[in-house]
Amino acid sequence: MARAWSGLLLFASSLSLLYGASLFKVTSVLGSSNLIFSGINIVGPLCGAWLGMPALTALFFARFLLRAVAVSTFVFTPLVYHIPTFCAAASFRPGNRLFKLLLIGICCALFLSHPHGAAAWWFSLYWLIPAAIILADLKQLFWVALSSTFIAHAVGSVIWLYWFALSPEVFWALMPLVPLERVVYACGMVIVHTVVSTWWMQVQKISQLRYQLKPA
């Protein structure tokens, strides 16, 4: 029972954290005037460190449903917008190296299969960074976070390429911005992960203390 309540609390806390992070707006997503990068791009991938795949899937589905209810309609755009973050969260989980490498390979193949992507082939070289981190088996938090955020970048870039048919010139303009953006996201993940992990340890200590002090 205690384990079930602990898992429920962690799920509810993750959902609340996602909502709170979404309120911190950063910048507009290229190609859309309605979507923006927000704190969820930092917090979202971290959910993979705390939740299993079933809970992780349920979390992002709940996040989408809450958004759909808020606007009283089925919103396809935010659903697609959450796909890169979900993939980043899934890749944040330990293990599954084959899945991560396969996901990166699919993104590269889809990007290069598009005429505009093929003309901007050098942009996909950024996605060799997470592949190298995974193959080198770097498990320090910063490297895991960096790999995760680059995977989100790969998935998002492919989606935006096919959805908006972005020109090669757009990818050329983004080239110098991508490294700084991803390093900032990775550093943000390290900070948030450290804070949340410390908070969760305190919650568990308090819960254990209350259980020990409970009358027989």
pLDDT in tens, 152-208: 999 999 998 998 888 999 999 889 889 998 998 999 889 988 888 887 777 666 666
Euclidean distance between CA atoms 159 and 7, whole angstroms: 33
Euclidean distance between CA atoms 187 and 204, whole angstroms: 26
Euclidean distance between CA atoms 190 and 171, whole angstroms: 28
pTM over 0.85: no
Give the total number of structural domains in the chain: 1
The label of the residue with tokens 């995760």 reads: 148
pLDDT in tens, 115-163: 999 999 999 999 999 999 999 999 999 999 999 999 999 999 999 899 8
